[in-house]
């Protein structure tokens, strides 16, 4: 079906998806109201892909299945599967040629007449995925430079002579950088920006909140609700489908305890100051992380 060839969508799944989507909206709006953040962050139109002709609008959260939906939007934009398989152009550049960044007014005009959605991921899984992809041994010029700046500022001890230092910042150094950057009011990189400020879900009445944990089912539900089955179902090359959905999520989840063991309780509390709202808005639990970190009396 949509992504995985052995995956079969059913009426039961459709009903379960509907229940989950309703519950997620309720949780979101309760948390928005409880923290009095409705309208606090003006809608961030910049990150939206809107296709008025297909009746859908998507806020693209990096490191949360963004490559799959970028691919779908490129299909909606009229690129052929064959072209997308062989082109060297970046998917986001191709998509932006067909779906330019909307203005706040355009977003406002379209949002009420479209199925608007975002895909969320457990906040610290997304954060670890971004760190591993962008900073841990990264060769990209921009992130390499950022990594060097982080090491320069946050590396407290240097390894003994002859011992090779870690390539790029450690996870701990990266988190210390985030806390410092947050407290100084710096703008966050799109790969680790909190969703509450990046997609502003308390200011935009999203129709559907999809999750990485139920990604295939949720994506198919969105496609069917928008009546895009003919255009999108079975359009993803099979090898790519499995690679996109399975690899990153389970790998990252399994690595969480190892990486969080590098940090202490105080740093975890400081980082949660940035991401706790995302945990609450999307119904994730952050308390388990206190079981992974070093306790205050650690050696």
Whether pLDDT at 224 is above 90: yes
Whether pLDDT at 226 is above 50: yes
pLDDT band of 6, cuts 50, 70, 90: very low
pLDDT band of 7, cuts 50, 70, 90: low
How many residues can be counted in the chain? 299
Whether pLDDT at 5 is above 50: no
* Mean pLDDT value across residues 37-59: 91
Whether pLDDT at 210 is above 50: yes
Q: What is the pLDDT of residue 163?
A: 66
Q: What is the pLDDT of residue 239?
A: 43
Label residue 72 exposed, middle or buried (CB < 10 Å: 0-12, 13-18, 19+).
buried
Q: Write out pLDDT tens, residues 143-165.
A: 999 999 999 999 887 767 666 66
Whether pLDDT at 99 is above 70: yes
* Mean pLDDT value across residues 119-137: 93
| CA separation for the pair 19, 17 (Å, rounded) | 5
Q: Name the residue with higher pLDDT: 71 or 38.
A: 71
Q: Which two tokens stand for residue 40?
A: 């606090």
**CA-closest candidate to residue 231, choices 78, 67, 50, 100:** 78
Q: Write out pLDDT tens, residues 250-260.
A: 788 899 999 99
Average pLDDT of the chain to the nearest whole number: 88
Q: What is the pLDDT of residue 233?
A: 82
Percent of the chain with pLDDT over 90: 70
Whether pLDDT at 247 is above 70: no
Whether pLDDT at 231 is above 60: yes
The DSSP call for residue 210 is: E
Contacts of 235 (CB under 8 A, 6+ apart): 72, 75, 81
Q: Write out pLDDT tens, residues 78-94.
A: 999 999 989 999 999 99
Q: What is the pLDDT of residue 178?
A: 98
pLDDT band of 139, cuts 50, 70, 90: confident
- Reduced DSSP (H G I as helix, E B as strand, rest coil) percent helix, strand, coil of the chain, to 5: 55, 5, 40
pLDDT band of 39, cuts 50, 70, 90: confident
Q: Name the residue with higher pLDDT: 243 or 84.
A: 84
Contacts of 145 (CB under 8 A, 6+ apart): none
Q: What is the pLDDT of residue 131?
A: 95
């Amino acid at each position: 079906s949509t992504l995985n060839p052995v995956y079969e969508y059913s009426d039961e799944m459709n009903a379960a998806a509907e229940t989950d989507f309703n519950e997620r909206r309720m949780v979101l709006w309760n948390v928005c109201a409880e923290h009095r953040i409705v309208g606090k962050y003006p809608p961030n139109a910049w990150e939206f892909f809107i296709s008025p002709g297909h009746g859908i609008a998507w806020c693209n959260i990096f490191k949360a299945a963004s490559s799959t939906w970028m691919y779908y939007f490129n299909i909606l934009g009229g690129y052929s599967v064959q072209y997308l398989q062989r082109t060297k152009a970046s998917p986001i550049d191709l998509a932006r040629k067909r779906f330019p960044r909307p203005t706040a007014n355009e977003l406002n005009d379209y949002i009420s007449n479209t199925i608007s959605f975002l895909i969320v991921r457990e906040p610290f899984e997304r954060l670890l995925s971004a760190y591993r992809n962008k900073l841990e041994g990264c060769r990209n010029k921009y992130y390499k430079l950022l990594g060097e700046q982080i090491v320069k500022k946050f590396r407290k001890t240097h390894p003994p002579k002859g011992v090779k230092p870690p390539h790029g910042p450690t996870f701990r150094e990266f988190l210390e950088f985030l806390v410092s950057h947050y407290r100084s009011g710096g703008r966050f990189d799109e790969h680790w920006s909190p969703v509450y400020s990046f997609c502003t879900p308390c200011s935009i009445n999203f129709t559907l909140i999809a999750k990485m944990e139920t990604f295939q089912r949720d994506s198919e539900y969105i496609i069917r609700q928008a009546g895009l089955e003919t255009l999108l179902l079975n359009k993803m090359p099979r090898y790519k489908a499995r690679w996109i959905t399975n690899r990153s999520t389970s790998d990252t989840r399994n690595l969480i305890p190892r990486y969080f063991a590098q940090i202490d309780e105080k740093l975890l509390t400081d980082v949660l100051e940035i991401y706790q709202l995302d945990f609450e808005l999307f119904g994730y639990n952050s308390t388990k992380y206190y079981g992974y970190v070093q306790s205050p009396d650690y050696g």
